[in-house]
Structure 1
Amino acid sequence: MNEKEKNELYKKFGIHDPAGFFVDEQEKESLSQEILERIHATKQIQQGQAQRKSLKLKRKKQLLTMAAAIGFLLLSTGMLFYHSMSGDYITITVAKGETKQLVLPDGSTVWLNSASTFKYPKKFGKKRMVYLLDGEGFFDIVHDEKVPFVVEASGIKTNVLGTSFVVKSYQALSTMSVAVVSGKVAVSDDHQQTSVLLKNEEVVYNKDHRKPKVLKIKAAERKAWNDGNVIMNAAYFEDLVLAVENAYQVKIKYDHQKFKNCQNSIHFNTKQSLTEVLNLIREIQGITYQINEEKEVLITGSGCN
């Protein structure tokens, strides 16, 4: 470093007159060397920070790339399910066209049907309380006399000790139901109406008047969707339409009032094509249909009185 460069360096540190500031040349040279060493050390620190920043940015880009890839995978497979945690609860949302199996904290198993949303605590306390916010679930509950298991759906509570049953409570439907596959359950509503159900019994509630109706059924058919089979007997048209919408990820438009009283029995497998299933409905209900490019189906027909 020449004299001019040294003087410029001194000025940066507030030394404008080196000749009057230093006692002798040795002190002057010693301070110059110290300043240079500190500048060098500062540069090394800055370089290290820059490298760490670069690594962080590189790491961030890698994580974003991974997230994008995962996001694409979920979208390309129909978004299997959405899992979120809030406080002490876990919420699971299953996409249309998919089903999801869960194991709860007590070892009980739940199978969720398409377009279902289910909420349960991370840890059970004195009561095993879970919530079917929307959709349908098949529950196989671990027996525990000291800790009852309760499913709440549409304001209806299903109380069990250890059994298997199906709860169906889609927000889009005018009814909700509970069907017992094995064991016994007690179903109650806000008006303290209680129905005790045994195997192959189902209680149906109309969401408007809440009057329970107990039916004899083949309960195994109620959970057939878990194997890709949809079995519906004397089902209202809205129920049938929703099953098709959820299975094939489509939107079906029709005159709700005209088809309100239509009841049909149908059996199809979700491996069949949408056209095959619509043709089945055409045969049993006499509808006409049109499939648009936007995965939308328009159904017309005379309906039912």
Structure 2
Amino acid sequence: MNKETGYYQRLIKRYIDNNCTPQEATELFDYLQQSSSNRVLLQEMKDLYNAGAGDIQTITKAEWSQRVRNELLQHIQTETTVIPLYKRWLPQVAAAAIILIGATIFFQYFNKSSATNDTVAVKPITTAPAKEVLPGTDKAILTLADGTVIVLDSAKTGSIAAQGGTVLKNKNGLIVYDASSNAASTGEIAFNTISTPKGGQYQVVLPDGSKAWLNAASSLRFPTAFTGSTRTVELTGEGYFEIAKNEKMPFHVKANNVDVEVLGTHFNIMAYGNEAATRTTLLEGSVKLNSGSSSGYLKPGQQADVNSTGVMKVGPGNVDEAVAWKNGNFYFDNTSLTTIMRQFERWYNIDVNYEGVEKKRFFSVEMSRNMSLSQVLKLLDAADIQFKIDQNRLSVIY
């Protein structure tokens, strides 16, 4: 073992023991990108998690963390050969592994070559809070037409309610509306509302078979069976939809002052009241948007922003960014700090306040939404910004 290899292997050991300085960590990952001697062990960490993905629900994160630590320590003492590593797999692994292997440095390393002078990657300079702020979970409130309220995160598996010809079933955290063939003709159509709180998300299968995913702090109002010539639902917050095709009955999503009309397609609508615009991003099929006197069509990969006055702007969209939340990730592509904080407020059920004179900061990073608040803040490192966590309040100090 030559002196250079031994030096960097000792840096790896120092890194997993949290003893590396930021300069040493950057030096280590710079070396791993240039050298063919040690990159394989990082690939092996990826393979270890991919191979055990089926077990992740049955063991704790601490056990996973220890398993990866043992694997890494075993390879520190051996010479290795090259296997290239790419950043795309990082958001797919468990949060414990992300922190263990050094996602912070990876995100900084891979983004620094493309970052502009105004784009920075982040490090909180506060100590961890006594009580960790945990990420959101699958939970929602279902309000039936008669006012009955069902807490979905604690509802038992199986049938949970019946309305007219429609039976509501909870299938492993998925609410399914099972409408009988004559439900639409019984005259007993009612409207239900499913609402997610801050720190919650949920999925529902509508009576026509269409699927809807709700992000945190969102709600969807819909009928227990679709009748007439259209299928119409009302959205607040953010939702991702996969619409069952029915050319004779177009599907409409009404969100703020926007009406999105589809026949059968996949799309995301972000319609939070504290965002600058209602944004529709199309993944598959086609949609028509109407807002006041404005209208337009989207092709796959395009998005439309409609502001509060109804002005519509159609252009290329970032599909990965739009649906990252539905896939369990945060995805920021040159995103402002205040926009990021609004997402954190909704997902971690926190209040964010700002101290000092605002400095414009933009970030490019992709990371798991399964991490705690302090863990995601470690991936946002700006030398002139501090983060302070006090219970469910996050202070951004310029």
Counterpart for residue 352 of structure 2: 252
Matched-pair contact (CA < 8 Å) for 2:356–2:397:
no
Q: CA deviation at 1:232?
A: 2.4
Runs of 4+ that moved beyond 4 A: none
User: Which amino acid in structure 1 is aligned with residue 342 of structure 2?
Assistant: L
Quick one: which of 268, 281, 300 aligns to 1:179?
A: 281
CA gap of 1:84–1:264, structure 2 versus 1, over 3 A, is same
How do residues 1-305 of structure 1 correspond to structure 2 at under 5 angstroms?
A: 80-86=139-145, 88-125=190-227, 126-132=229-235, 134-190=236-292, 192-207=293-308, 209-254=309-354, 258=358, 263-283=362-382, 286-293=384-391, 295-301=392-398
Deviations 1:12-61 (A, max 9, x none): xxxxxxxxxxxxxxxxxxxxxxxxxxxxxxxxxxxxxxxxxxxxxxxxxx
Q: CA deviation at 1:85?
A: 1.7
User: Which amino acid in structure 2 is aligned with residue 142 of structure 1?
Assistant: A
Matched-pair contact (CA < 8 Å) for 2:214–2:239:
yes
d(CA) in 2 for partners of 1:262, 1:142: 41
Q: CA deviation at 1:289?
A: 1.4
Matched-pair contact (CA < 8 Å) for 1:176–1:205:
yes
Gaps of 5+ in 1: 1-76
Matched-pair contact (CA < 8 Å) for 1:173–1:238:
no
Q: Once the two structures are aligned, what percentage of the paired residues are identical?
A: 27
Q: CA deviation at 1:106?
A: 0.6
Deviations 1:133-192 (A, max 9, x none): x211000001111101000101101010000000000112222100001011011102x2
Matched-pair contact (CA < 8 Å) for 1:159–1:185:
yes
CA gap of 1:127–1:249, structure 2 versus 1, over 3 A, is same
CA gap of 1:286–1:112, structure 2 versus 1, over 3 A, is farther
d(CA) in 2 for partners of 1:277, 1:244: 9
Paired positions, count: 219
d(CA) in 2 for partners of 1:218, 1:172: 20
Report the RMSD for the aligned CA atoms in angstroms: 2.3
d(CA) in 1 for partners of 2:290, 2:355: 33
d(CA) in 2 for partners of 1:280, 1:256: 22
Gaps of 5+ in 2: 1-135, 147-189
Deviations 1:261-302 (A, max 9, x none): 65443322112221122233343x842111013x1001122x
SS of match in other structure, 2:346: helix
Bigger Cα Rg: 1
Q: CA deviation at 1:255?
A: 6.2
Q: TM-score, normalised by structure 1?
A: 0.66
Matched-pair contact (CA < 8 Å) for 1:101–1:109:
yes
